[in-house]
């Protein structure tokens, strides 16, 4: 899992207070945060959204497992912790993505966001396109 030390927790608080934001509670360790996210999904999301959300959380935590950069670790944990807090308080319903966060995203992240939006809006179409893509891959592997 991500390498997190007490120094990173202190860094997270000092970074948020320096940025003009109100001081936040110390960041949860990755495993605790991961479990909290899955619990919140179980309690707050409908079954179809829960499956999508759980899969997304699992993939993101796997993809960031070996991150060593403290700034990336703090950013990753902070954003997921804010997400969990919003879900727990029902503040997320109808909320739009902050333009500042959108501007900071890479092309790959924008692509992921678009795929997530498609999956949420048209679950059947998303499943069909995934099945079609995997079928094309199998066909190409046969040749």
Q: What pTM, to 2 d.p., does this model score?
A: 0.59
Residue 118 has a pLDDT of: 86
> Tell me, what's the pLDDT at 13?
43
d(CA 122, CA 94): 18
Dihedral of the CA atoms 103, 106, 107, 112 (nearest 10)? Answer: -100
Specify the length of the chain in residues.
143
> What does the domain layout of the chain look like in residue ranges?
1-95, 96-143
Mean pLDDT by 10 residues, the chain (143 residues): 48 44 69 95 90 92 91 92 87 74 87 84 61 51 51
Q: Between 6-18 and 70-89, two packed helices, what is the crossing angle to 10 degrees?
A: 70
Quick one: angle between helices 30-44 and 47-63, nearest 10? 170
Treating both helix axes as pointing N-terminal to C-terminal, what angle do 47-63 and 107-121 enclose, rounded to 10 degrees? Answer: 160
């Amino acid at each position: 899992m991500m390498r997190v030390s007490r120094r990173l927790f202190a860094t997270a608080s000092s970074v948020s207070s320096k940025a003009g934001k109100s001081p936040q509670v110390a960041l949860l360790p990755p495993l605790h945060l991961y479990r909290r996210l899955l619990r919140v999904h179980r309690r707050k999301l409908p079954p179809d959204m829960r499956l999508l959300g759980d899969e997304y959380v699992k993939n993101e935590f796997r993809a960031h497992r070996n991150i060593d950069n403290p700034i990336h670790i703090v950013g990753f944990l902070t954003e997921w912790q804010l997400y969990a807090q919003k879900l727990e308080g029902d503040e997320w319903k109808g909320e739009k993505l902050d333009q500042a966060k959108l501007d900071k995203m890479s092309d790959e992240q924008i692509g992921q966001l678009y795929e997530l939006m498609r999956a949420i809006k048209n679950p059947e179409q998303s499943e069909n396109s995934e099945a079609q893509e995997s079928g094309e891959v199998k066909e190409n592997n046969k040749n």
